[in-house]
Amino acid sequence: MGDKPIWEQIGSSFVQHYYQLFDTDRTQLGAIYIDASCLTWEGQQFQGKAAIVEKLSSLPFTKIAHSITAQDHQPTPDSCILSMVVGQLKADEDPIMGFHQSFILKNINDAWVCTNDMFRLALHNFG
Amino acid sequence: MADKPVWEQIGAGFVQLYYQQFDTDRTKLGDLYTDASCLTWEGAGYQGKEAIMGKLSSLPFQSIQHIITAQDHQPTPDNCVMSMVMGQLKADQDQVMGFQQVFLLKNIDNKWICANDMFRLALHNFGA
């Protein structure tokens, strides 16, 4: 991994950490957000760590497993990292669904936090 | 539209302009990028207006039409606008395909330009 650009190392580490935590215990995801973070979940908006974690915690399934199909990372002009993830998820006994998620990561006080998070199921892409 | 948050107006305005221009004449998209802009197209990276336009212009289809299924917009801490688009496209006589695209828009000299652009076809989302 040492020969990959730094933004790709940071982005893919974040992605791995995020989904691992999401699949294990999503109530612990608060540590990666700050009070200025924004989440848009299936078009619904939430701002701030507390509102975001409450939304994620109250999602109506008990267990979930994400698998990543593709991920892209870019550095932004303001020294952030933009990450786009395409994958599939399985919640409880529901059929497997595709999803799309995008993040902006920002370095604040030597820690990378997620300032922007957008999630959509890919259902409406079945053409 | 006036009662929508400003970042949503900016993002939705950009998205409309981008796909309209892409479908009409994608060789004219250069105005939306700068020399620092990054494009990741199906996993391949391009930096700068010239490289990005070279890639978009050489895509192997004559006619294309995008339809937007959903779009989300957020303000970022650095006064940019992040936009995520999901939709479908039809290139020439190929079958309709899903796509996902993300933009980061930045205001430079009173103009909104695209600093970051990522595109993926949604083919690999056709799951079990």
Indicate yes or no: CB of B82 within 8 angstroms of CB of A86. Answer: no
pLDDT tens, residue by residue, B35-77: 999 999 999 999 999 999 999 999 999 999 999 999 999 999 9
How many domains does chain B fold into? 1
**Number of domains forming the structure of chain A:** 1
- For position A73, which CATH number holds? 3.10.450.50
ipTM: 0.92
Interface test with A, best of B82, B97, B107, B124 (most A CBs within 10 A): B82
Residue B1 lies in a domain: no
Q: CATH number of the domain that B81 lies in?
A: 3.10.450.50
Parent domain of A103 = 6-125
Please tell me the distance from the alpha carbon of residue B64 to that of residue B86, in angstroms, as a whole number.
16
| B42 φψ region: left (φ > 0), alpha (ψ -120 to 50), beta (else) | left
**Cβ contacts of A35 on chain B, cutoff 8 Å:** none
Give pLDDT tens digits for A69-117: 999 999 999 999 999 999 999 999 999 999 999 999 999 999 999 999 9
Say how many C-beta atoms besides its own lie within 10 A of residue A53's C-beta: 20
Write out the residue range of the structural domain in which residue B78 sits.
6-122
Tokens read off for A66: 């994400």
- Alpha carbon distances (Å) from A50 to A34, B82, B119: 9, 22, 31
Domain for residue B127, yes or no?
no
CA-nearest residue to A46 within chain B is B74
d(CA B123, CA B43): 14
Alpha-helical (H) ranges within A26-105 are 49-57
Cβ contact, residue pair B86, A38, below 8 Å: no
**Alpha-carbon distance B81 to A115, whole Å?**
12
